[in-house]
Structure formats: C-alpha cells, structure tokens
Amino acid sequence: MPEHLFDGLRVIDAATVIAAPAAAMILGDLGADVIKIERPGKGDMLRMLSRLPGVPESGLDWFWQQDGRNKRGMTLDLKSERGMEVMRKLVASCDVYITNQPYGARERLGLTYEALKPLNPTMIYASLTAYGEEGPERYRKSFDQLAYWARSGLMDLMRQAGTRPTQGLAGMGDHPTGVALYASIVTALLRRERTGQGGMVQTSLLANGLWSASGVAGGVMAGGDIAQYRERVAAPSALMRVYETSDARWLQFNMVRNEELLALMFTGLDAVEMLADERFAKPGAMWQHSTEVGDAIAAIVATKTSDEWLAVFDELGVPVNRIAIVEEAPADEQILANGMAMVPEAEDVDVPLLVNHPIKVTSVPSVGPRRAPHLGEHSAQILAELGYDEAEVRAMRKDGVI
C-alpha cells in the first residue's frame, strides 16, 4: 500500500509562474514525482516574485518555496533538438503533463496535445490558457491580473461607484485557478483508472474569473437588469456599509438579512428604540432611509472596540465579523489549527510559515513540504533515469541544453 495517494505518479511541470505550477505542487504534496522544467540560466519567473515591489519583502524566496515545493528541478533548452529529445522521453514516461505555454509556442515546438498524444496515449495533458482553448483570443498571452481580474469583469464589479478600478493582489486569480486545474487533472485520472484512457483537460484564467463573478454575471446571462443592479449598489443599504470601531477596525454587517436578526442587531447596539422608528423597523424601510440609519449605526459602533462588539454579537448570534488584516495571519489561531498555514518540518526550508493550498482529505496524508529545487538541481539525476550516461549529460551541460 503506497504511503501517499499519488506515489508512483510522474508529473511533468512544463509551466511557469503560479497557476499551473501550483496545480503541480498540490500533486507533489500528495506524493507525485513532479519534475519541474525550467529554462537554462533564467528559470521560472516564480523564483523572482518574492523580490518584486508588489509583495512584502522578507529577504526569503517565500513565493518560490510556497508554490515550487515538493518538486525535482531540471533545466532544458526546448529550442534545441537535444532538449526536445529529452522532453519527448519525459512525455513518454509521464502520467500528467502540465503546461501553460502560449499556443503559438506549443505549435512551433510540437508540444500541443495532438503532437504529444502519440508518444503517450494514456497521459493526462493539462492545459492552462489565459482566455480559453478556442476563439479570437486563443493566442493571447496574459497574467491573472489581466485575464482573471480585468477581463472577467471582477475588477469593475469590486469597487464602489464613482471610484477607479483597483489593481488585484499578486496571484489572486492564479491560486484558485491552480485548484481548478488540479481538480480537472484528478477527474481525468479517475477516468483513466476506470477506462484506461488518457485525455486532455483544460481551464483558463478567464473562466475562473467569470466563475468568481458568477453571483452577478449569472444574473446578466439570465437577462437580469444590470442597470438596476448598478444603481442599487451605488447607494448601498445601511447593512452593506462597513463600520469603524473605536480601535480603528472595521465590522461587516451584510449578513443581517431578516427581521429577527435585525432586531437582535439593534438590541446588541443598545438601540432598540430605533425599531420603533418606521424608517428603520424593517429591511425594506431601511433601504429607503439607508443614509440616515447607516449614520446612526456608525455613531454607535464608533463607541466601542471591535473585540467588545464581537463579544456582544456572538452572544446574540448575530452574524457580524471584523475585517481581518493580513498582518494578523501568522499568529491566527484558527488558520494555524487548521493547517491553512504550516511550519515546514524540513530544516532546509528557510521560510518560517508557508500558506497551504485548500485541498484537505482527512484520509489522504500529505507529504511534508520539501524545499523547492535550485535551478537545474536534479537535471543529471533525471537524465540518468531516462538512460543518458555521464558523458552525454556533461555534453548537454557544456552546450547549454541543460
């Protein structure tokens, strides 16, 4: 009985940056032998993300350790014939091939599913694109900020009326898209187990961005009145506002959505007299007088700390929460207790805490996070497994193939 679910499964991670490599990382966490392919000399841009201006600088390659862990690494020049010969041998021996290369590059190099399938008909070919496999934007290159966040409509929807669209966070669309790609791969592996057949799976940044926006986009697809929706959110109800406490934290009330909870909320605010005011007594009336009731609530909320208000509303069973700040995450008891962030056991992982992916199966143990590979660290080892001798490996290294 294998120790881990995917022991013996060989995965080729021929992808870059975050989303597709994150799917490979999850497979590696569950025991798969993941071989990370990178360009000689430069490597994956993911190695550099921890040092870019848009993320917290720590002096550690935390982004690379987070999403590059539990893989073996080799460099390969895919523009050379010998490099492509190695890649074809890797493809012939793998169970899963993961790529997010732009389609133009795949076609030039002969790395499309149609080109590789004859080498290994039972493999799962996992394709991540920016905008989808078909259509006029099939060949467009992109990142999650452009395809997931901007192109899907999320960037426009997630702002207050009259304000500029806000840039997203690094990897904000990549990480959930990586989970979707992982789910597609596992679905195909189950099919292969039952039928013996391989196949191609696919997802895109745009598809995942649209899925995230589907609480509004679905209504648009159904012919909903989007103009009315925009008018309503431009002047939100009192309960859709956020409220600042005396300790400069913010509370969210937007799940107080019936008369019973409304009464309990006003009780917690020690403002039951507001229930006697016809402007505030029912959710519909509150909507018509949202500015007045919101200002009244704001004045009350500002008199106590967020801890004090949370204790009041928890006791009453009113669904109110404090808006977290990311600085609190490393010491967040709930996050740590559930392994959402974990302390690496391996001594050579120099990051004190790693954010974990959200895949949790109680009966399926994970591999403890192993250090993400140095550039080309396992090239010679992997080539030896493919049948290359030491002289051939030295020659490839000398010629820049690896």
One DSSP character per residue, 70-119 reads S-EEEE--TTSHHHHHHHHHHHHH-SEEEE---HHHHHHHT-SHHHHGGG
- Helix spans in 110-225 (H): 113-116, 144, 154-157, 174-195, 205-212, 214-221
Please, what is the Cα angle at 317 between 311 and 322, to 5 degrees? 50
pLDDT in tens, 156-202: 999 988 899 999 999 999 999 999 999 999 999 999 999 999 999 99
Note the pLDDT of residue 237.
Answer: 82
Q: Distance between alpha carbon 400 and the CA centroid of its chain, in Å?
A: 34
Note the pLDDT of residue 281.
Answer: 64
Note the pLDDT of residue 177.
Answer: 98
Question: What's the N-to-C CA distance of the chain in angstroms?
Answer: 36
Reported confidence tier of residue 282, pLDDT bands at 50, 70, 90:
low
For the four alpha carbons of 129, 134, 140 and 145, in that order, the dihedral sign comes to: negative
Note the pLDDT of residue 146.
Answer: 95
| CA distances for 166 relative to 163, 231, 309, angstroms | 9, 20, 30
More confident residue, 235 or 304: 304
Reported confidence tier of residue 276, pLDDT bands at 50, 70, 90:
confident
Q: What is the dihedral of CA 299, 301, 305, 307, to 10 degrees?
A: 180
Domains located in the chain, CATH noted: 10-213+372-398 (3.40.50.10540), 233-322 (3.30.1540.10)
Note the pLDDT of residue 1.
Answer: 66
DSSP 193: H
- Under 8 Å between Cβ of 382 and 72: yes
pTM for the model: 0.93
| CA distances for 252 relative to 245, 288, 359, angstroms | 11, 20, 28
DSSP 368: P
The type of residue at 5 is L
Q: How far apart are CA 117 and CA 88, in angstroms?
A: 11
Q: In the chain, what's the furthest Cα-to-Cα distance?
A: 89
Among 235-239, 253-257, 286-290, the range of highest mean pLDDT: 253-257
Note the pLDDT of residue 100.
Answer: 97
What is the share, in percent, of the chain residues with pLDDT greater than 70?
99
In whole angstroms, how large is the CA radius of gyration of the chain?
A: 26
pLDDT in tens, 317-355: 999 999 999 999 999 999 999 999 999 988 899 899 999
The type of residue at 213 is A
Question: Mind giving me the DSSP string for 37-55?
Answer: EE-TTT--GGGGGGGSTTS
Q: Token pair of 97, please?
A: 């091939």
Please, what is the Cα angle at 368 between 34 and 203, to 5 degrees? 45
Q: Distance between alpha carbon 187 and the CA centroid of its chain, in Å?
A: 19
- Under 8 Å between Cβ of 91 and 124: no
**Cβ neighbours for 71, distance < 8 A, ≥ 6 positions apart:** 13, 24, 25, 28, 34, 35, 36, 372, 373
Q: How far apart are CA 153 and CA 149, in angstroms?
A: 7
Phi/psi of residue 327, nearest 5 degrees = -60, -25
Phi/psi of residue 14, nearest 5 degrees = -100, 40
Please, what is the Cα angle at 379 between 114 and 52, to 5 degrees? 85
N residues, the chain:
402
For 117, half-sphere exposure in the C-beta direction (CA atoms, 13 angstrom radius) is: 9
Q: How far apart are CA 72 and CA 371, in angstroms?
A: 10
Q: How much is the mean pLDDT over the chain?
A: 94
Q: Which has the minimum average pLDDT: 143-147, 199-203, 210-214, 283-287?
A: 283-287
Q: Which has the minimum average pLDDT: 176-180, 272-276, 283-287?
A: 283-287
